Amino acid sequence: MALLVFGSPETRRAYIGVMRLVATALGTRPFVGDEAELVTMFAALEGCAGCHGFDESLDFSDLLGPDEPWVDSEAAIAEILKGLTSENDRLEAVHAGLLVSLFADDPDPEATAAAHWVATRLGVDDAMARNIEAIANENSAASKADLFRRFLSERIGIDKKVIADHMERHNLETITTPETISTYHQLIAEAPEGSLGAMMRVFYNEARFDMPGKPGTPLPVEFLGSHDVHHVLAAYNTSAQGEVYTAVFNAANASAGIGWLSVVLLQWHQGIKVGVFPEGHSHLDPEMMASAALRGSQTQTDLYDSNWDWMSLLSLPLADVREALKIPEGGQVSPGGSWSA
């Protein structure tokens, strides 16, 4: 889980410490604004009494005030490292910092540089951090392409060179075989009322999306179909905000999800075209972000795993699927609500 650590109080504290470091650009600017609000919201989530098995709430107040909690950034890193006892903890801390840098309404070179610096000091050679820093500073086409290739390769289990070849020919959708397309369309068409597949029919109709696999859809069914299923299971709509909240849910559900979240935040929040869809700006609710992270982290199946057989669930009752996956209630779309943006 890349956005919510179920660890010791020390690990949680380190996590919030990294987020604060990035929000303040290593202590060079005040702890105010949208990024600070996001850190505060996640601190409340991390320290919530009863949320994670602790009887009492955790106190992160010294990390959330106007005064700097450390003498300098090196002292901060030394303190933070005490709570990050594994390589995975350190990687997730870096991803937490990247989330903060990407939450700004527009590219924030100072915060992205801070996130990259944190990655280096924590001993995490993270290509994603380097790419996001380059995009924030230079709008680098090469970094955008690499970030998109990495995310798609991890997501559907296809080698990056194959992804790169298809991207060069502008035919990513042809990764999916005609047999898989036919199977998906048949499952959706024949899904009984009340099933996940039946709700997918409603989703495509209300969102006015072509079904993955139809001519003109720009990504493989293996990705786009399962992504649409994530929308329905997590109950987030097709607005730019809904795309972000779905991606946050994914990122908290599985470590690989952070790649798609980065693409989504750059493209549909900061307005930088990274993938194959039109870019745009959106205003995000930090409380909804934290809620999506919590719900994703509590979902007990890795929905982002390329081996997860999501097609086999399309004929099953939607409520039963959500219950089996342990997806908590919530989201934007209540029963009978619209999936439209």
Residues 6+ apart with CB under 8 A from 199: 232, 318
Residue type, 314: L
Q: Which residue matches tokens 């060079």? A: 28
* Rounded distance between C-alpha atoms, residue 36 and residue 15, angstroms: 14
Q: Which two tokens stand for residue 79?
A: 């303190």
Residue 329 has a CB neighbour count (10 Å cut-off) of 8
* Rounded distance between C-alpha atoms, residue 196 and residue 319, angstroms: 8
Contact 292, 248 (CB under 8 A): yes
pLDDT number for residue 323:
97
Handedness of CA 233, 293, 158, 134 (dihedral sign): positive
CA atoms within 13 A on the CB side of 142: 4
Helix (H) or strand (E) holding 43: helix 33-47
DSSP single-letter state for residue 194: T
Contact 253, 304 (CB under 8 A): yes
Residue 316 has a CB neighbour count (10 Å cut-off) of 16
Residues 6+ apart with CB under 8 A from 61: none
Residue type, 78: A
Which of 311, 315, 313 is closest to 182 using CA atoms?
311
**pLDDT single digits (tens) 261-302:** 999 999 999 999 988 888 888 899 999 999 999 899 899 899
The values of phi and psi at residue 272, to 5°, are: -105, 120
CA atoms within 13 A on the CB side of 291: 15
pTM: 0.90
Residue type, 43: A
* Rounded distance between C-alpha atoms, residue 4 and residue 96, angstroms: 9
The gap between the terminal CA atoms of the chain, to the nearest Å, is 28
Residues 6+ apart with CB under 8 A from 257: 2, 247, 250, 251, 296, 304
Q: Which two tokens stand for residue 128?
A: 């994603």
* Rounded distance between C-alpha atoms, residue 270 and residue 265, angstroms: 6
Residues of the chain with pLDDT under 50: none
DSSP string, 230-253: HHHHHT--SSHHHHHHHHHHHHHH
The beta-strand segments (E) located in 27-150 are none
pLDDT number for residue 1:
52
